[in-house]
Structures are given as structure tokens and as C-alpha cells.
């Protein structure tokens, strides 16, 4: 039987009834039952299984709203949760559940956003009507529920909606409620983008505070989202909410796929599954010390292996916030990102509390946003008075996202990506005149736009070049400051395909796909040294320190040795075959 993959299915019952393959994350229910925390917030990147996990929790905990409801025990047959112990089994279909997902509340206006939030609350109130309508409620509580059921709730009724509904269904069932809130911050992101941030923050602060703070009728509450929006904005006064981000150990195994889970998926998919390719493209995330793969991209690849590897996760994103962060002037992070794209790392302060209002004004929030959104990974995390982490790009798929960003930066400076493409072709064909002329124009038109934020002159030009050359990512690896021969080169471009691999004759190799290049960069002071002397010095360093070794080892043929000398926005280059 062919492997059935649950692409786009976020309803646990539908997935199981359709016979789709389920990577067993039911241990989340076990950990939730055994935690000492009544309410947990679990921020994770988008498409990492948050909605499906909350749907699984719903089916495990929820008692039928109507007497004699459907027997769903078969949905969990063979899953870890069924053998976890009597304490876990005792919670099966025991509690009333409130389930809200805000993942589709992405509206351009405040009025539409509020209307959609009200509609979601109304749906849950109506779903539980058989329970709350049959019990004696205080007049105020019944008025709130009736207003919610009719869609005429005031802001005051919205503030008390979750608390009142929890109390009513607890009275009606004799059991405390399980409250599941999925993607709570999606409407907040839209508010930040479209200009109604203050209104949506006030709505969710009141809704969550009213529903979670000192609510005696909650057995467990789970909130998911991408970010932990700063405590003073949303979770003010909610001391009972335990937050477990990607840096935390608890709950770290349940979002994304582990190595063992990907191994099993590949075994089921058959021998054509490229296990090492999956590792290169979709691995690299670290959650609580566990190595994790992007589940959406892994499943998308396995569902269409003949199409090869694609940036599936990146292609499903709206990059509006990223564009505002990374393309906005004055951020001073383009050079740092260029270093990351070249395989480097940064040590930066990160914060689990994101000040979304001030995002884009500098500080650690930019790096924190990139980390917790899945565009960076953190290693060597050091927690003290402040949290400091070593940041890297997790995998090749995410490199492509930064590649697109760099192209937009340069397009903002020169108006087209064709000049960058032509520059790359000149580099790999040894075209000295073409490379120098194009690099000169790009430096004049774009270097001032490329915010380098106080780096040394050599580092400025190095970051600028890496940003340009990352457009070669499909066929080449571009990195900087790596050891080769007897020293560290400035920039190296080497082919991705190993020596002797090549493309099929029917397809043909892309021009320059085998070529490699090594660049040594220098800043010249014309009052002390001639351009020619500086170029000769840079070229001599390439030869003496055997920098071309890295390109040759990767199978590059030919290898072009480039010396590039800069004086402000003036450029001279020299090339020799390696």
C-alpha cells in the first residue's frame, strides 16, 4: 500500500479515519496531564504541527457534547498515549473542551478581524449550548452566553466570554474544562501589519486575561502561536501561564520530526527517498536540545519526490513582517545576515518575550523574531541575567529565503536582478572586464543601501559580495572566512555537485555549474600603495596560502582566482586561472 501523507490535514479524526500516516505525537497528551502547570504556552514556528496537535488533544480529552456520542477510542489505537498508564487513561473523553483556532484570522481591517473573532467564539458557545442551557446560571452569565450565541456580544461580554463558558460547561458536566487556543498571535501579526495593533492587543489581552487568570474551572489550558508576545502586552498578570519556547526542554519533542521519525518515513516511502537531501534541506532546528526537521517540508517532499527538493515551507509564508524587518532602512543587520548565509554564526542576545510594537527598531527583538519564527536556530544557549545564543541558519531551505531578501535589497539599489546574475556569470567564467564593470556599478548604486553598521572596511565589502553571490545557491556553496590551504580565504564559491556527478546529458549542465572561484579582498590607500601593487599582493596571498584547495576539493573545474581591491566606491580586480 502506498504511503498516505496528511498534507494539509489538521483534523486528527479525519487524518486517522482516512488512513493517512500519523507520526505519533500523542505523548503530548501524556506530558500535559502529568505537568504541574495548569496552563501552558507553546510557541513554535508555523507549519510545525501545532493545529494537528491541539486537535489530537481535543479528541483525547473531550467528552461527547450529546449523550451517546461517537465512540472514538479507535482513533488512538496503537498510539503511545493508550499505554501511558491509568492516570492518562482516566482523562480520556472526560472533560468538556473549548477549542479555538485563530490561524485564519488574517484580516486587513480591525472591523473584519473583530467580527471573525466573535464568530469563532459564537461557534463554540453554540456547540456547547446543550450543556449550558440545561443548568441554572446566574443571570449575568446567561446574558453573556446569549449575546455570544446571537453574535451581538459587546466588548465587555467578549472579555468574560471564556471564563463564563468554562464555568457554565463545568457546572453542566461536573468536570473542569480543557481550553485549547491555537495560533493566538495570528490576528496580532495582522494587526501589526495593517495598522490596528492597539485594538487587537486590547481584545486579546482582555479575552485571555478574563479566561485564564485565576479561573478555577480549567483543568488544562494550552495556547500555541509563533511568538510569545511581550508579557506586558498580552499576558500581564497571568502568573499561572508556563511558557515553553524552542529553548525549553519540556514539550520539546512534540513539534517537528525527530531523526528517528524521518528515518521511518523514508523507510515507508521507499528507496527513492533521499535521506541525506532531506537532512540538508529541512533539518537543523533545535528544540530543547532535540534535533528537529521541518515537518511540512519533509511531508511535501515525500509526497512528490519526483519533483525534487523545493522550499515548501518558505513558499507557504507571507513574508510581510520579514520584508519590513529586513529591507527597512537603518536596521544594520544586512552584513550580519550575509555572514550567516556564508555559513557563519553570530552571538546575540535573544529574548523569549517579543516586543512586537517595537519590532524593527533594533535591539535583540529582530534576532529573537528570526529565531522563534524558524529562520534561525540557536546553539550554545547561555541563560543568566540575559539570554545569549549562538545563531545559525538551520538549513538550505531557509538560505533561499535570505537569498530572496538579498536580491530585493540589491533590486532596491539597481532596479533589477539581471545585473547580479550577470556578475555571477562573469565571476565563474573568468571575465575580468565584465566582473569589474558590473561590481563597480553595483558598489556605486547599492553599497550605501546595504547597511553595514560600523564593520571594518574589509568586512563591509566581504558581506556585500556574499550577499551578491548567494544568488548562486542553486548550483554553488558560497561561504567566507573558512580555513583552506594555509589560511582563511575571504570568499569561496564552489560547486554543489561532487566531482564526476554532473547532470544527465538530456538536461545538460548549467553554464558555470562546475566552475569555482576564490576571492581575496583588500582595501587600498592610494597615498601609500598603487592599485597594481595591492592587486599583486592579494593574488600572491591566494597562491602562497593555497586558498584554492577548498574549491578544488569540491570538484571545481576551472577554479578562478580573484583579487579585488577597493577604495571607497572604486573597484579594481584581477583574475588568474587556478
What is the model's pLDDT at position 90? 97
What is the model's pLDDT at position 330? 39
Provide the 3-class DSSP secondary structure of residue 491. Answer: strand
Burial class of residue 139 in the structure, from the number of CB atoms within 10 Å of its CB (0-12 exposed, 13-18 middle, 19+ buried): exposed
CA–CA–CA angle 364, 462, 478 (5° rounding): 90
pLDDT band at 416 (very low <50, low <70, confident <90, very high): low
Which residue shows C-alpha cell 501552558? 40
What is the model's pLDDT at position 91? 97
DSSP string, 136-200: ---HHHHHHHHHHHHT---HHHHHHHHHHHHHHHHHHHSSPEEEEEE-TTHHHHHHHHHT-HHHH
Interval 432-453 mean pLDDT: 77
Cα separation, 163 vs 215, in Å, equals 7
Predicted confidence (pLDDT) at residue 455 exceeds the cutoff of 70:
no
pLDDT band at 449 (very low <50, low <70, confident <90, very high): very low
Cα separation, 128 vs 168, in Å, equals 9
Interval 317-322 mean pLDDT: 69
Cα separation, 418 vs 414, in Å, equals 9
Which of 63-77, 357-371, 433-447 shows the lowest mean pLDDT across its residues? 357-371
Cα separation, 548 vs 293, in Å, equals 34
Query: What percent of the chain shows pLDDT beyond 70?
Result: 87
- Which residues make beta-bridge pairs with 576? 561
User: How many angstroms separate the Cα of 219 from the Cα of each of 61, 84, 271, 359?
Assistant: 10, 19, 46, 35
What is the model's pLDDT at position 233? 67
Give the chain's mean pLDDT: 87
pLDDT band at 146 (very low <50, low <70, confident <90, very high): very high
| Residue 215 near residue 166 (C-beta atoms within 8 A) | yes
Rg (CA), the chain: 28
Predicted confidence (pLDDT) at residue 37 exceeds the cutoff of 70:
yes
Interval 1-30 mean pLDDT: 92
Which of 4-18, 313-327, 413-427 shows the lowest mean pLDDT across its residues? 313-327
What is the model's pLDDT at position 283? 93
Interval 528-551 mean pLDDT: 94
What is the model's pLDDT at position 73? 92
- Which residues make beta-bridge pairs with 379? 390
User: How much is the pTM?
Assistant: 0.81
Which of 347-351, 399-403, 412-416, 419-423 shows the lowest mean pLDDT across its residues? 412-416
What is the model's pLDDT at position 296? 96
Predicted confidence (pLDDT) at residue 101 exceeds the cutoff of 50:
yes
Count how many residues are written for the chain: 578
Where are the domains positioned within the chain?
33-62+95-243, 259-315, 401-577
pLDDT band at 168 (very low <50, low <70, confident <90, very high): very high
Predicted confidence (pLDDT) at residue 527 exceeds the cutoff of 90:
no
DSSP string, 23-92: ---THHHHHHHHSS-SEEEEE--TTSSHHHHHHHHHHHHBPPSSTT----GGGGTT-GGGGS-HHHHTTT
Cα separation, 405 vs 234, in Å, equals 31
- DSSP type of residue 352: S
Query: Rounded to 10 degrees, what is the CA torsion of 370, 376, 381, 386?
Result: -10
Burial class of residue 232 in the structure, from the number of CB atoms within 10 Å of its CB (0-12 exposed, 13-18 middle, 19+ buried): exposed
- Higher-confidence residue: 361 or 105? 105
Helix (H) / strand (E) containing 560: strand 559-567
Cα separation, 303 vs 301, in Å, equals 5
Which of 141-145, 250-254, 406-410, 417-421 shows the lowest mean pLDDT across its residues? 406-410
Q: How does pLDDT run across 124-144, given as a tens digit for each residue?
A: 999 999 999 999 999 999 999
pLDDT band at 228 (very low <50, low <70, confident <90, very high): confident
- Higher-confidence residue: 65 or 174? 174
Name the residue among 43, 125, 57 with its Cα closest to residue 91.
Answer: 57
What is the model's pLDDT at position 500? 44
CA 305 to chain centroid, in Å, comes to 23
What is the model's pLDDT at position 501? 45
Cα separation, 195 vs 147, in Å, equals 28
Interval 365-370 mean pLDDT: 84
What is the model's pLDDT at position 2? 73
Which of 405-409, 470-474, 525-529 shows the lowest mean pLDDT across its residues? 405-409
What number does CATH give the domain 33-62+95-243? 3.40.50
What is the model's pLDDT at position 237? 63
Interval 161-184 mean pLDDT: 97
Q: Which long-range contacts (CB under 8 A, 24 or more apart) does 75-82 make?
A: 75/12, 75/13, 75/16, 75/17, 76/26, 79/22, 79/24, 79/26, 80/24, 80/26, 80/27, 80/30, 81/26, 81/27, 81/29, 81/30, 82/26
Q: How does pLDDT run across 462-518, given as a tens digit for each residue?
A: 878 887 888 888 889 888 888 888 999 999 999 986 544 443 333 333 446 789 999
pLDDT band at 360 (very low <50, low <70, confident <90, very high): low
Q: Are strands 290-292 and 387-392 parallel, antiparallel or unpaired?
A: unpaired
Cβ neighbours around 431 below 10 Å, total? 17
Amino acid at each position: 500500500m502506498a504511503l498516505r501523507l496528511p498534507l494539509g490535514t489538521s483534523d486528527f479524526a479525519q487524518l486517522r479515519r482516512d488512513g493517512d500516516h500519523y507520526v505519533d505525537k500523542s505523548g503530548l497528551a501524556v506530558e500535559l496531564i502529568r505537568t504541574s502547570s495548569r496552563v501552558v504556552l507553546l510557541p513554535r514556528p508555523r507549519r510545525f504541527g501545532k493545529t494537528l496537535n491541539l486537535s489530537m488533544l481535543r479528541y483525547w480529552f473531550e467528552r461527547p457534547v450529546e449523550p451517546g456520542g461517537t465512540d472514538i477510542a479507535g482513533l488512538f489505537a496503537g498510539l503511545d498515549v493508550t499505554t501511558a498508564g491509568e492516570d492518562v487513561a482516566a482523562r480520556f473523553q472526560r472533560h468538556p473542551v473549548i477549542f479555538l483556532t485563530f490561524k485564519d484570522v488574517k484580516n486587513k481591517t480591525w472591523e473584519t478581524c473583530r467580527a471573525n473573532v466573535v464568530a469563532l467564539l459564537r461557534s463554540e458557545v453554540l456547540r456547547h449550548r446543550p450543556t449550558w442551557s440545561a443548568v441554572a446560571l446566574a443571570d449575568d452569565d446567561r446574558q453573556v452566553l446569549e449575546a455570544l450565541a446571537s453574535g451581538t456580544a459587546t466588548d465587555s461580554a467578549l472579555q468574560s466570554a471564556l471564563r463564563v463558558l468554562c464555568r457554565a460547561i463545568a457546572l453542566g458536566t461536573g468536570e473542569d474544562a480543557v481550553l485549547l487556543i491555537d495560533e493566538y498571535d495570528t490576528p496580532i501579526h495582522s494587526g501589526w501589519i495593517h495598522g490596528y495593533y492597539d485594538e487587537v492587543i486590547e481584545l486579546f489581552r482582555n479575552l485571555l486575561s478574563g479566561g485564564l487568570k485565576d479561573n478555577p474551572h480549567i483543568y488544562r489550558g494550552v495556547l500555541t502561536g509563533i511568538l510569545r508576545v511581550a508579557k506586558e502586552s498580552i499576558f500581564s498578570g497571568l502568573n499561572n501561564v508556563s511558557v515553553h519556547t524552542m529553548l525549553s526542554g519540556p514539550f520539546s519533542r512534540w513539534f517537528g520530526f525527530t531523526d528517528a521519525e524521518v528515518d521511518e518515513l523514508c523507510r515507508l516511502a521507499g528507496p527513492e527517498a533521499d535521506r541525506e537531501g532531506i537532512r540538508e534541506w529541512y533539518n537543523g532546528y533545535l528544540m530543547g536540545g532535540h534535533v528537529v526537521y521541518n515537518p511540512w517540508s519533509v511531508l511535501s517532499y515525500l509526497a512528490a519526490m519526483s519533483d525534487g527538493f523545493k522550499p515548501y515551507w518558505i513558499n507557504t509564508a507571507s513574508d510581510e513582517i520579514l520584508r519590513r524587518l529586513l529591507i527597512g532602512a537603518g536596521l544594520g543587520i544586512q552584513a550580519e545576515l550575509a555572514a550567516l548565509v556564508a555559513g557563519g554564526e553570530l552571538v546575540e542576545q535573544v529574548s523569549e518575550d517579543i516586543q512586537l510594537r517595537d519590532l524593527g527598531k533594533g535591539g535583540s527583538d529582530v534576532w529573537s523574531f528570526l529565531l522563534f519564527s524558524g529562520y534561525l536556530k540557536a546553539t550554545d544557549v547561555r541563560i543568566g541575567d540575559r539570554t545569549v545564543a549562538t545563531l545559525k541558519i538551520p538549513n538550505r531551505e531557509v538560505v533561499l529565503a535570505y537569498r530572496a531578501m538579498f536580491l530585493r535589497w540589491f533590486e532596491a539599489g539597481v532596479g533589477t536582478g539581471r545585473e547580479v546574475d550577470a556578475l555571477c556569470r562573469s565571476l565563474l567564467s573568468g571575465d575580468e572586464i565584465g566582473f569589474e564593470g558590473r561590481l563597480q556599478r553595483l558598489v556605486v548604486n547599492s553599497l550605501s543601501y546595504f547597511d553595514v553598521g560600523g564593520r571594518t572596511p574589509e568586512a563591509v565589502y566581504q558581506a556585500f559580495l556574499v550577499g551578491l553571490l548567494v544568488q548562486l545557491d542553486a548550483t554553488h556553496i558560497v561561504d567566507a572566512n573558512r580555513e583552506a590551504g594555509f589560511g582563511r580565504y575571504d570568499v569561496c564559491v564552489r560547486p554543489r555537485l561532487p566531482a564526476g556527478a554532473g547532470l544527465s546529458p538530456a538536461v545538460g549542465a548549467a553554464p558555470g555549474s562546475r566552475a569555482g572561484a576564490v576571492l581575496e579582498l583588500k582595501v587600498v590607500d592610494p597615498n601609500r600603495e598603487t592599485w597594481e601593487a595591492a592587486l599583486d599582493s592579494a593574488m600572491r596571498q591566494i597562491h602562497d596560502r593555497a586558498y584554492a584547495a577548498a574549491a578544488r576539493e569540491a570538484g571545481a573545474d576551472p577554479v578562478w582566482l580573484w583579487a579585488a581591491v577597493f577604495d571607497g566606491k572604486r573597484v579594481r580586480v584581477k583574475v588568474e586561472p587556478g
